[in-house]
Chains A and B, each alone.
Chain A
Amino acid sequence: GAVVSQHPSWVICKSGTSVKIECRSLDFQATTMFWYRQFPKQSLMLMATSNEGSKATYEQGVEKDKFLINHASLTLSTLTVTSAHPEDSSFYICSARDPFQVYNEQFFGPGTRLTVL
């Protein structure tokens, strides 16, 4: 099956700093990638939809200036958490859609645990 990787798998940073998370589709080209956030014992919440070569579409309530998304190639999307604060600590998961797979199936990365001190 399609493989999606994320880097780093975990990161600890100081409040006020910025953190970049990478999401890569390893064996297919993903025209669309998705970024989710998961708080403890909660479901995954979609933050934004990232389309290659165009601006990301953010869900209601997600600050686009705080969560910068770049989808510069068909295999890479990045999420930058700017001026991170403790409340941004969460599990961030990306997914990618293989356009050659039927039924709009999304393949998920292993996630990135962000802890802001």
Chain B
Amino acid sequence: KQEVTQIPAALSVPEGENLVLNCSFTDSAIYNLQWFRQDPGKGLTSLLLIQSSQREQTSGRLNASLDKSSGRSTLYIAASQPGDSATYLCAVSQGGSEKLVFGKGTKLTVNP
């Protein structure tokens, strides 16, 4: 059974700092991995999707990497801003299945 773990559970940084969020998964036979952002009481906003054959994806100040063999992904946020404050969720889908398995998320607070 696939399990997704995100470390740390919470992170507080000053504005302007670069930071890394971590995601690990137990079964490396994934189809893709997605990073989402969730604001309090809101739905999910997709940030980046990495196919199992890819090593990284970039969008603006965000860069996500994937090391499928070791079961790890990182989300790098450059020059953090207070507007980046949210919970970041990592989710994986298994090969042949549309189901997403989510981690518990990392709650990020960027202080002005």
Contact = CB atoms under 8 A, between A and B. Distances in A.
Interface of A: 1, 6, 32, 34, 41-46, 49, 91, 93, 95, 97, 103-111, 113
Main secondary structure of the interface of A (DSSP, over half): strand
> Taking each of B31, B32, B99, which has the highest tally of chain A beta carbons within 10 Å of its own beta carbon?
B99
B49 A111 contact: no
Going nearest first, the 8 A-B pairs with the smallest beta carbon separation are A110-B43, A108-B44, A43-B102, A43-B104, A111-B43, A44-B102, A108-B43, A109-B43
Interface residues of B, number: 24
Contacts of B91: 44
Contacts of A106: 98, 100
A55 B101 CA distance: 22
A18 B16 CA distance: 48
A23 B105 CA distance: 24
